[in-house]
Structure 1
Amino acid sequence: MSAATTTPVPSAPSGEAVLSVRDLSVSFRGHDRTVHAVDGLSYDVAPGEVLAVVGESGCGKSVTSMAVMGLLPPTAHVTGSVRLAGRELVGLSEKRLARLRGQEMAMIFQEPMTSLNPVLTVGRQIGEVLRKHQGLGRREARERAIELLTLVGIPAPAKRVDEYPHQLSGGMRQRVMIAIAVACDPAVLIADEPTTALDVTVQAGILDVLRNLRERLGTAIVLITHDLGVVADTADRVLVMYAGRAVEQAEVAELYGRPAHPYTRGLLGAVLRPGLRGTDGRARLNEIPGMVPGLDAQPDACTFAPRCALADDTCAGARPALRLIDGAHRLACHHPAQAGPQIPEGAAR
């Protein structure tokens, strides 16, 4: 690797970013404590790019996406900057944000059965977006809804448009959510765990839909997931989050080929592979030792240090900055040259 140089912002690889996040922090105030869910996060997404955001549950992935969309509750305190095609979103009124949601930016939520209205047909729910943002009449909106159902690969769309969510399979409900999200050809699409709880065949179909949308519409996609197989198959770049912070960012091939942060190596090492065995001869996943820290405070230190075999006094006494280490590869670690795989005691070697 080349000598590390400091760089404050991880930029999109080429062209002007359609979504630019700078020093985004999100905290939630309770009666007796404050939770710091996101701490100084920055990233860019270029038009037509797929940026995957990965990390353990509770690392701040979904909170970040909700902050970008302006969907957090009043208890949330958001600072920093979120710019959509140059327009600042943080501090924007709910009325103005509502005009942007669905038209210029959209989101696919984790669970379609709880996100779709059970008493309205899927055609009416798609049509509602079209009528609000594009001013279409009822008939035109229904025709466009059928086109969108065709676009996302739902069979017999003229029939499905008049059905209710409970009449559809999980995979088709997820496709309906995608149809709603892309109804107005948004510039940015945030997909929050779009393949969770779906079987492998349906998952592959959903990912094909997202790839086709990117190619046909030029939509920038922020893909939030914990599935590293999905990332390898779909994304252009990867942002790894831990305890509310960005710890590594690189192109997919670079990250998988040369992961530099101990946490990233731990995530990749925890993927089940053929022939992986523990000391008892059974199939065994490598695990990252220790627990995710509480988010009551964000220390001026490496938050991964308590779980890292490479941690020293420097890690416990100073927060590592996200810096450029090679090409477009960025890392927040005091020991990038030494970073090795996290293999817990007793795991397969």
Structure 2
Amino acid sequence: MSAPVSTEPVLSVRDLSVSFRSDTRTVHAVDQVSFDLRAGEVLAVVGESGCGKSVTSMAVMGLLPPTAHITGSVRIGEKELAGADDKAYGKIRGNDIAMIFQEPMTSLNPVLTIGRQIGEVLRRHQGLNKKQARARAVELLDLVGIPAPAERVDEYPHQLSGGMRQRVMIAIAVACDPAVLIADEPTTALDVTVQAGILEVLQSLRERLGTAIVLITHDLGVVADTADRVLVMYAGRPVEQAPVHELFADPKHPYTRGLLSAVLRPGGEGKRRLPEIPGLVPSLDSQPDACTFAPRCARADDTCTSSRPGLKAVAADAGADAPHRAACWHPHTLQETVS
């Protein structure tokens, strides 16, 4: 059951764009992404590899390299993060907003104990002494479901399984009760039972602490089970945004339909070949003033190849802030079922 959702956003992103410049070219990795996230809400950001999901999250966290050029607005409550320096971000990261990284084995320091790595966050942001930090680390390990936390706190990352290491990453991320938690592919490379355990931990955190979560994933099954809303990205641009049940029941953008059509259904294995989206993902060297999905879309016409569609309400009588919006000149109707 979903946690109560506040009306005021704890995270507000407006027209966020990210490009990377080199001597020979400029890559437009993210192009005008906007979304709001409220307390206790889970927003899933989905799309194929290279669509800009992780770059968006790194931009929000202020973790992109100096070669990145960032425009737009990122606000945590009343704090504007866009353009903030490392010192300002240092006070915010881990305290107001935190991140669970994709690969815990490379994110955790192999030569420091679990307790010390959790304690560093607590000592920096909450001023706890060593003894207090260790005691709180044990509590956090228990919170994320690690057995025998008083013993595990003194172990090293290599002594834990992949699922346990991911739970440690979650413990570090929520140590200071951040308002926003970004989970970048938190279940990648984990088996199904471990994955379910990690998702249960995230669900518990949002229900018990009111944590707002941005869940970055390519697994639509995880999205269906976990998210409240979904943002679909393609080639760096948002193409559809909707409440999760509405997106699965009535996807409007052809790309969203393509993603859903490629999902295996119970009892369907061996009876049909999974449809694939024809063509290739476009180069991000330039973002045309047109629909970037048009070269791969059977519904495309001259309007699609000559004019960029905005993210607009799919219902004719809905306002600009309608919950279901799509960036498509020819969105699908409810009668056109997903194959």
- Normalising by structure 2, report the TM-score: 0.94
Gaps of 5+ in 1: 1-12, 344-349
Q: Return the offset for 1:337.
A: 4.1
Partners in 2 of 1:210 and 1:14 — Cα distance?
A: 18
Give yes or no for contact 2:104–2:165 (8 Å, CA) kept in 1.
Answer: yes
Number of the residue aligned with 1:346 = none
Number of the residue aligned with 2:328 = 333
Partners in 1 of 2:323 and 2:226 — Cα distance?
A: 19
One of 11, 31, 35 as aligned partner of 1:39: 31
Deviations 1:232-270 (A, max 9, x none): 000000000000000000001100000011000100000
Residues 244-263 of structure 1 correspond to what in structure 2 (within 5 A)?
244-263=236-255
Partners in 2 of 1:210 and 1:337 — Cα distance?
A: 33
Number of the residue aligned with 2:274 = 285
Number of the residue aligned with 1:130 = 122
Residues 206-221 of structure 1 correspond to what in structure 2 (within 5 A)?
206-221=198-213
Is 1:304 the counterpart of 2:304? The answer is no
Partners in 2 of 1:142 and 1:237 — Cα distance?
A: 37
Q: Which amino acid aligns with 2:295?
A: P
Partners in 1 of 2:20 and 2:271 — Cα distance?
A: 43
Partners in 2 of 1:165 and 1:238 — Cα distance?
A: 33
SS of corresponding position for 1:18: strand
SS of corresponding position for 1:213: helix
Number of the residue aligned with 2:318 = none
- Normalising by structure 1, report the TM-score: 0.91
SS of corresponding position for 2:182: strand
Deviations 1:187-214 (A, max 9, x none): 0000000000000000000000000000
SS of corresponding position for 2:109: coil
Q: Which amino acid aligns with 1:317?
A: S
Q: CA RMSD for the aligned pairs?
A: 1.4
Is 1:146 the counterpart of 2:150? The answer is no
Number of the residue aligned with 2:268 = 276
SS of corresponding position for 2:31: strand
Partners in 1 of 2:149 and 2:54 — Cα distance?
A: 31
Residues 52-201 of structure 1 correspond to what in structure 2 (within 5 A)?
52-201=44-193
SS of corresponding position for 2:9: coil
Deviations 1:102-159 (A, max 9, x none): 0110000000000000000010000000000000010110000000000000001011
Partners in 2 of 1:240 and 1:201 — Cα distance?
A: 26
Partners in 2 of 1:320 and 1:259 — Cα distance?
A: 17
Partners in 2 of 1:290 and 1:112 — Cα distance?
A: 34
Range with bigger deviation, 13-22 or 93-102:
13-22
Task: Give the count of matched residue pairs.
Answer: 328
Q: Which amino acid aligns with 2:330?
A: H
Partners in 2 of 1:282 and 1:254 — Cα distance?
A: 27
Partners in 2 of 1:336 and 1:26 — Cα distance?
A: 27
Give yes or no for contact 2:113–2:157 (8 Å, CA) kept in 1.
Answer: yes
Deviations 1:268-321 (A, max 9, x none): 0001123436xxx67632211111111000000000001111000000000000
Gaps of 5+ in 2: 316-321
SS of corresponding position for 2:89: helix
